[in-house]
Amino acid sequence: MARPELQIEEVKNQKDLLTFIRFPGEIYRGDRYWVPPLTKDLLLKFSPKHPFRSHAEMIFFLARQGGKPVGRIAGIIDHHYIEFHQEKVGFFGFFESIPEREVAQRLLRKIADWLKSHGMEKMAGPMNPSTNDECGLLIEGFDSPPCLMMPYNPPHYPSLLEEFGLKKRMDLYAFLLEESSFLLDRLDRITQRLRKREPQLHVRPIQLRRLNEELKIIKEIYNQAWSRNWGFVPLTDEEINLLAKELKPLVVPELVLFAYWEEEPIGFSVSLPDYNMVLKHLNGKIGLLGVFKFLYYSKKIDKIRVMLLGIKHHYQKKGVEGLLYIETFRNGIKKGYHKAECSWILEENVLMQHGIEAMGGRRYKTYRIYEVQL
């Protein structure tokens, strides 16, 4: 009996978009590590009204065989990225596929052709949808669940991308620190020496009642500190405000810190409890029962993710990064968190990697950004 024809169709209505959003449930059924994202969050992310769409174009495709979805992909053109890097690169993202070469090849070809028709010279990804969100393909570290706002995929995905001709552009690392191996006494001595040598340096937690003012500090430092990093795209005011609105209910103030040099804010770090440990039990929905589950499982979280850390260029390599890390871990341990993931760290950021290793951390996951000439 002949196999049904494989069809690639653009997502054009709400019904298809919901199919696009729910399709990963088919790929990961029975996978104990996959964490279903909240459907309402994805509907917002894919909405034309999302702040990202004010400077980006997106297109979505579904692969179907015999009427059944077997793959999905998105194409992304971020005009802020193109303007900032002066490079005509388009992206693919939200890639999922059954383990069949033809499905992946047809989906990737569809995006490559779309990007080329819009003047792009390279295709890179996965970006979901940019480096300011989830990005990269997991290539090492399949033996544990992903941390909050980090991607996850089956082990067969790298070969599907590489068979298309996609090659490594950059690797991103995740490091794990555990209380049992955290060198607290040694780090306390280092912190005391730093404070003695630089009495102008001090750290304070975020003040949620002054959130608007705090966001201005974060945006200024982030867009300056990260501007030389590979793949950086400046965040707009609207994107920062939306991110703050989404994350504010999850914030533990002692885990979001600002570093000051006398009265000047020079750095910040944002760490959040690993709410993936909660989302795992919600199956993509948060109704009345989901609220009770959220409250119950939130008390069982024992891990945080250090997800953002930025220092103004002039104050880098002065020990400020280490101070923020140490204060975060000390505060986290006091709050009952015994593990921390630092992610993601660019493979070329050797100084940061060595600093985390000096605190007792170990690299335990690797994510890859691929690219191909069009």
Band (198; pLDDT cuts 50, 70, 90): confident
Q: Tell me, what CATH number does 140's domain have?
A: 3.40.630.30
The whole-number pLDDT of residue 359 equals 85
- Identify the domain boundary among 172, 207, 222: 172
β 167-178/362-373 pair status: antiparallel
Distance CA 87, CA 318 (A): 33
For residues 99, 146, 133, 303, the Cα torsion angle rounded to the nearest 10 degrees is: 180
- Does 257 share its domain with 117? no
For residue 251, give the 3-state DSSP assignment.
coil
Where do the H-state alpha helices sit in 198-299?
Answer: 211-225, 237-247, 276-279, 288-298
- Does 334 share its domain with 195? yes
For the chain, percent of residues with pLDDT exceeding 70: 98
- Does 23 share its domain with 163? yes
Q: How far is CA 92 from the centre of its chain?
A: 15
- Does 133 share its domain with 191? no
What is the tens place of the pLDDT at every residue in 253-283?
999 999 998 899 999 999 999 999 999 988 8
- Does 161 share its domain with 273? no
Distance CA 297, CA 278 (A): 5
Residue 1 reports pLDDT greater than 70? no
Tokens of residue 288, six digits:
């009345």
Give the chain's mean pLDDT: 91
Tell me the residue range of the domain where 65 lies.
Answer: 8-172
The whole-number pLDDT of residue 265 equals 94
Residue 134 pairs in a beta bridge with 128
Q: Provide DSSP, 65-84.
A: ETTEEEEEEEEEEEHHHHHH
Distance CA 191, CA 322 (A): 8
Distance CA 250, CA 248 (A): 5
The model's pTM is 0.94
Distance CA 80, CA 121 (A): 16
The whole-number pLDDT of residue 363 equals 97
- Does 352 share its domain with 235? yes
Tokens of residue 29, six digits:
């059924």
Total domains in the chain come to 2
Q: Provide DSSP, 172-185.
A: EEEEEEEGGG--HH
What is the tens place of the pLDDT at every residue in 28-83?
999 999 999 999 999 999 999 999 999 999 999 999 999 899 999 999 999 999 99
Contacts of 101 by beta carbon, 8 Å cutoff, 6+ apart: 160, 163
Q: Whose structure tokens read 């499982």?
A: 297
Distance CA 122, CA 169 (A): 11
- Does 162 share its domain with 180? no
Residue 344 reports pLDDT greater than 80? yes
Q: Whose structure tokens read 């390279």?
A: 122
How many residues are present in the chain?
Answer: 374
- Does 150 share its domain with 195? no
Q: Whose structure tokens read 């793959």?
A: 71
Q: What is the mean pLDDT of residues 299-324?
A: 89
Asked if residue 89 lies in contact with residue 121, where contact means CB atoms within 8 angstroms, the answer is yes
The whole-number pLDDT of residue 25 equals 94
Distance CA 323, CA 320 (A): 5
The whole-number pLDDT of residue 328 equals 93
The whole-number pLDDT of residue 2 equals 62
Compute the C-alpha angle 32/108/307, nearest 5°.
Answer: 50
What is the tens place of the pLDDT at every residue in 204-252?
999 999 988 998 899 889 888 887 788 888 888 899 888 888 888 889 9
The whole-number pLDDT of residue 95 equals 98
Distance CA 107, CA 125 (A): 13
Q: How many CB atoms lie within 10 A of CB 53?
A: 14
